């Protein structure tokens, strides 16, 4: 029986969504799973709204179309809520994970999510500023993703994250990212 | 014994790796979305010393193919990549490469042709090159793109063939999507493709030759084209043999057409590229609902496996041919025309209907595949007429 | 110069032709006689000629024949009678004369 998880990411260009989708895919591979990770391309500039898609499955994935009915929607920038309907297509029992300071119950109500859906909130930007000293919320948001869904393993993710970051950054930055992941994993709240 | 490494990477990276392992002597390169990362990644391999290639940055795709022709005639193993407007720009050189019988291998990221400008997937660019005399492979996945590129080189350089070959993959869908694939070890690929032994190399100064000759009125141009036709007809057997060899080495199946559920299928979708996967997914669901659905994927388009396709679909009740490109003014899209022609001499023929879909990257939703199967059932039951041409999912 | 025997080329079947129309020798355009295209030929007056060699420089068919840095004749097997040599000669030593004209020194 195919267990397929479909994730849609909403972000602004420059927030690291594409990198996050890539490391999530690599983590799934380490667990001997199958994956797809696709960015949606359009005219690009820093700050433009972008989407990315991730599929994770225990069986080979033979579909190659856009994800219409995601199980999980991740929003890295809450200002996108005014611009895009991020809940579009979200499965009735799906999970929305959003980078915000607002309480999960308020956000759930404001977005009109059904009771069966889960709304998970984490102050990814705040955690990022504290740990890596920059508002790049991608690693904390993946921490929240793992905390809420368990779709990939935290320790494996951190190991691969370390390898990816190690190409450009020193140990201090890697440790800061690990701290960001751990904090978000714990601090995410679900309504 | 080969070792294969499981990786999570994009179709473009897999093609670049295949190129690296094939060790071309010359790569003339020009960028165009969505193939650019192929030549970019390859450039990194050159810079890192992981492959020893003369990397020539040219000023346009026309120049890229011109440089390929010159380098190949000189006796080099030559590879490159392009897409869409770039493929269109090198149109005259494509015919020249094939006419000169040069075993150039090129990857094409299948992308819509302007106008209007569109950077996303369809097959209009590659189908526009179907009469150039190049051998053409289509990939459904990053894995197939890798496998096809390596096989294409063996086939192109085969002494019975000596024709240029394209290894194509769907723009963005396959080029940019991270997928799970297996990368073979360098030594095994190197042994598989072997060394290129050119005949008539221009750089062989001991045996001077003249390339690019003129064959005018009363001359044997006609005869040269006949021998080119003979060569591409011979290539089908070579493609299958090389495929069988690769299957033995990699463990992955290959055939010029690949079927699912075809043993007893009554309702068949014939498709090319990533769409075949979508169709197969829906076919599985239809089968579970008791509908005898089948999917036939065309993996090699030139030479066209007309006998194989006709044989595979002739007993079905209704067949839908999906074209991700148009042949404006024709009865239908390019694949439809060829499949229809393949069936002409058969007494027993299924109802055949053409769907044009996915132009300019229009999303190939699973519900569209479902609609096609449902139409096929209705056509076979006489509930609806098989209207020849349908634009699937366009307003 | 050519080792390529094309005496019966008009009988060759398609697969007998060299692959890719590659001619298996170099420089055999010399064997393709284009002198028959001509309707005028160049006549050089040796007394007026200053041996500047500009006719040799400009001739598009390399038909101005030079030996020991002196032009001595025109290659009438290949000269197409374009008249560029006569046009460029700074000493007016070359005149284009109709084919078939009887003049001293002209074969």
Rounded CA gap, B173 and B18, in Å? 19
In this structure, are residues B125 and B88 in contact, taking their beta carbons and an 8 Å threshold? Answer: yes
Asked if residue C6 belongs to a domain, the reply is: no
DSSP per residue, B78-130: BEEEEEHHHHHHTHHHHHHHHHTT---EEEEEE-PPSSSP--S--SHHHHTTT
Task: Report CB contact under 8 Å: A35, B364.
Answer: no
Nearest to A58 by CA among A86, A25, A31, A38: A31
Q: Specify the pLDDT at position C32.
A: 85
Tell me which chain B residue has its CA closest to the CA of residue C20.
B100
DSSP 3-state helix, strand, coil percentages of chain C (rounded to 5)? 25, 20, 55
CATH number, domain at B17?
Answer: 3.40.50.970
> Which residue of C17, C20, C24 is the best one to mutate when testing the B interface, meaning the one whose CB has the most B CBs within 10 A?
C20
Q: Are residues B174 and B295 in the same domain?
A: no
Task: Report CB contact under 8 Å: C15, B230.
Answer: yes
Counting the structural domains of chain B, the total is 2
Q: Is any Cβ of chain B less than 8 angstroms from the Cβ of C1?
A: no
In terms of residue numbers, what domain contains B297? 257-392
Residues of chain B contacting residue A35, judged by C-beta atoms under 8 Å apart: 8, 178-180
Query: pLDDT tens string for chain C (107 positions)?
Result: 456 888 898 899 998 999 999 999 988 888 888 898 899 999 999 999 999 999 999 999 999 999 999 999 999 999 999 999 999 999 999 999 998 765 555 44
Counting the structural domains of chain C, the total is 1
Q: Is the peptide bond before B34 cis (omega within 30 degrees of 0)?
A: yes
Q: How far is CA B44 from the centre of its chain?
A: 25
| H/E segment holding residue A35 | strand A34-39
Q: Are residues B192 and B117 in the same domain?
A: yes
In this structure, are residues B14 and B183 in contact, taking their beta carbons and an 8 Å threshold? Answer: yes
Tell me the per-residue pLDDT of B293-307, one tens digit each, with 9 for 90 and over: 999 999 999 999 999
Examine chains B and C and say if they touch (3+ CB pairs below 8 A): yes
Token pair in block for residue B188: 């095994």
Asked if residue C90 belongs to a domain, the reply is: yes
Asked if residue C43 belongs to a domain, the reply is: yes
- Which residue shows structure tokens 């070792």? B3
Q: Is any Cβ of chain B less than 8 angstroms from the Cβ of A110?
A: no
In terms of residue numbers, what domain contains C53? 39-100
Q: Are residues B99 and B152 in the same domain?
A: yes
Which of B233, B250, B267 lies at the terminal end of a domain, its last residue?
B250
CATH number, domain at B386?
Answer: 3.40.50.920
Task: Report CB contact under 8 Å: C12, B220.
Answer: yes
Counting the structural domains of chain A, the total is 1
DSSP state of B380: H
Q: How many residues does chain A have?
A: 191
Torsion angles phi and psi, residue B359, rounded to 5: -65, 145
Which of B231, B250, B269 lies at the terminal end of a domain, its last residue?
B250
Nearest C-alpha of chain B: how many angstroms from C25?
4
Rounded CA gap, B337 and C62, in Å? 53
Which of B228, B250, B272 lies at the terminal end of a domain, its last residue?
B250
In chain C, which ranges are E strands? 40-44, 64-67, 70-74, 94-98
Nearest to A86 by CA among A78, A14, A47: A78
DSSP per residue, B259-319: EESTTS-SEEEEE-TTHHHHHHHHHHHHHHTT--EEEEEESEEES--HHHHHHHHTT-SEE
Q: Is any Cβ of chain B less than 8 angstroms from the Cβ of C105?
A: no
Task: Report CB contact under 8 Å: A64, B178.
Answer: no
Q: Is any Cβ of chain B less than 8 angstroms from the Cβ of A28?
A: yes
CATH number, domain at C57?
Answer: 3.30.70.20
Residues of chain B contacting residue C20, judged by C-beta atoms under 8 Å apart: 99-102, 162, 200, 211
Query: pLDDT tens string for chain B (395 positions)?
Result: 899 999 999 999 999 999 999 999 999 999 999 999 999 999 999 999 999 999 999 999 999 999 999 999 999 999 999 999 999 999 999 999 999 999 999 999 999 999 999 999 999 999 999 999 999 999 999 999 999 999 999 999 999 999 999 999 999 999 999 999 999 999 999 999 999 999 999 999 999 999 998 887 778 999 999 999 999 999 999 999 999 999 999 999 999 999 999 999 999 999 999 999 999 999 999 999 999 999 999 999 999 999 999 999 999 999 999 999 999 999 999 999 999 999 999 998 999 999 999 999 999 999 999 999 999 999 999 999 887 789 999 99
């Amino acid at each position: 029986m195919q267990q397929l998880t479909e994730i849609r990411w909403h972000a602004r260009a420059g927030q690291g969504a594409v990198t996050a989708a890539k490391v999530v895919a690599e983590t799934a591979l380490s667990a001997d799973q199958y994956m797809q990770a696709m960015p949606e391309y359009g005219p690009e500039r820093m700050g433009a709204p972008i989407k990315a898609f991730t599929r994770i499955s225990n069986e080979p994935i033979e579909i190659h179309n856009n994800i219409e009915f995601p199980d999980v929607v991740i929003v890295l920038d809450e200002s996108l809520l005014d611009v895009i309907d991020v809940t579009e297509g979200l499965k009735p029992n799906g999970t929305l994970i959003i980078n915000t300071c607002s309480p999960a119950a308020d956000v759930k109500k404001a977005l009109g999510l059904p009771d069966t859906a889960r709304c998970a909130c984490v102050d990814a930007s705040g955690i990022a500023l504290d740990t890596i000293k920059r508002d790049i919320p991608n690693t904390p948001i993946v921490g929240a993703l793992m905390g809420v869904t368990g779709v990939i393993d935290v320790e494996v993710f951190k190991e691969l994250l370390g390898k990816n970051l190690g190409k450009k950054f020193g140990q201090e930055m890697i440790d800061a990212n690990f701290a960001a992941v751990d904090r978000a994993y714990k601090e995410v709240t679900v309504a | 014994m080969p070792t294969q490494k499981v990786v999570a990477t994009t179709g473009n990276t897999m093609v670049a790796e295949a190129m690296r392992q094939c060790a071309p002597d010359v790569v003339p390169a020009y960028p165009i979305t969505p193939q650019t990362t192929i030549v970019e990644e390859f450039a990194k391999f050159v810079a890192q010393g992981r492959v020893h290639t003369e990397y020539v940055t040219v000023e346009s795709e026309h120049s890229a193919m011109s440089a390929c022709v010159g380098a190949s005639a000189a006796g080099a193993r030559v590879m490159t990549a392009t897409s869409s407007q770039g493929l269109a720009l090198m149109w005259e050189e494509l015919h020249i490469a094939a006419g000169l019988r040069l075993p150039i291998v090129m990857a094409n990221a299948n992308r819509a042709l302007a106008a209007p400008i569109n950077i996303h997937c369809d097959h209009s660019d590659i189908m526009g090159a179907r009469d150039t005399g190049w051998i053409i492979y289509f990939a459904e996945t990053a894995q197939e793109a890798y496998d096809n590129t390596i096989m294409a080189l063996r086939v192109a350089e085969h002494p019975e063939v000596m024709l240029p070959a394209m290894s194509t993959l769907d723009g963005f869908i396959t080029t940019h999507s991270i997928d799970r694939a297996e990368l073979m070890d360098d030594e095994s690929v190197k042994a598989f493709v072997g060394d290129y032994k050119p005949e008539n190399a221009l750089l062989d100064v001991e045996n001077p030759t003249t390339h690019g000759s003129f064959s005018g009125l009363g001359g044997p141009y006609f005869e040269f084209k006949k021998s080119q036709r003979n060569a591409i007809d011979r290539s089908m057997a070579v493609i299958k043999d090389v495929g069988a060899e690769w299957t033995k080495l990699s463990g992955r199946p290959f055939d010029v057409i690949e079927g699912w559920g075809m043993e007893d299928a009554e309702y068949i979708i014939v498709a090319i590229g990533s769409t075949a996967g979508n169709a197969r997914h829906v076919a599985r669901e239809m089968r579970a609902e008791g509908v005898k659905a089948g999917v036939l994927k065309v993996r090699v388009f030139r030479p066209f496996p007309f006998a194989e396709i006709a044989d595979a679909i002739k007993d079905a009740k209704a067949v839908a041919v999906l074209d991700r490109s148009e042949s404006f003014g024709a009865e239908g899209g390019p694949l439809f025309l060829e499949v229809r022609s393949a069936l002409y001499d058969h007494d027993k023929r299924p109802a055949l209907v053409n769907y044009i879909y996915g132009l300019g990257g229009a999303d190939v939703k699973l519900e569209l595949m479902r609609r096609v199967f449902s139409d096929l059932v209705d056509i076979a039951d006489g509930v609806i007429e098989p209207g020849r041409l349908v634009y699937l999912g366009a307003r | 110069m050519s080792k390529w025997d094309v005496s019966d080329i008009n009988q060759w079947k398609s697969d007998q032709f060299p692959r890719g129309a590659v001619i298996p020798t170099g420089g055999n355009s010399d064997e393709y006689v284009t002198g028959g295209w001509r309707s005028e030929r160049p006549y050089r007056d040796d007394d007026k000629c200053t041996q500047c060699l500009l006719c040799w420089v400009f001739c598009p068919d390399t038909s101005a024949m030079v030996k020991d840095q002196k032009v001595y004749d025109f290659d009438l097997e290949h000269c197409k009678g374009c008249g560029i040599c006569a046009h460029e000669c700074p000493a007016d030593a070359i005149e284009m004369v109709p084919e078939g004209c009887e003049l001293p020194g002209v074969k």
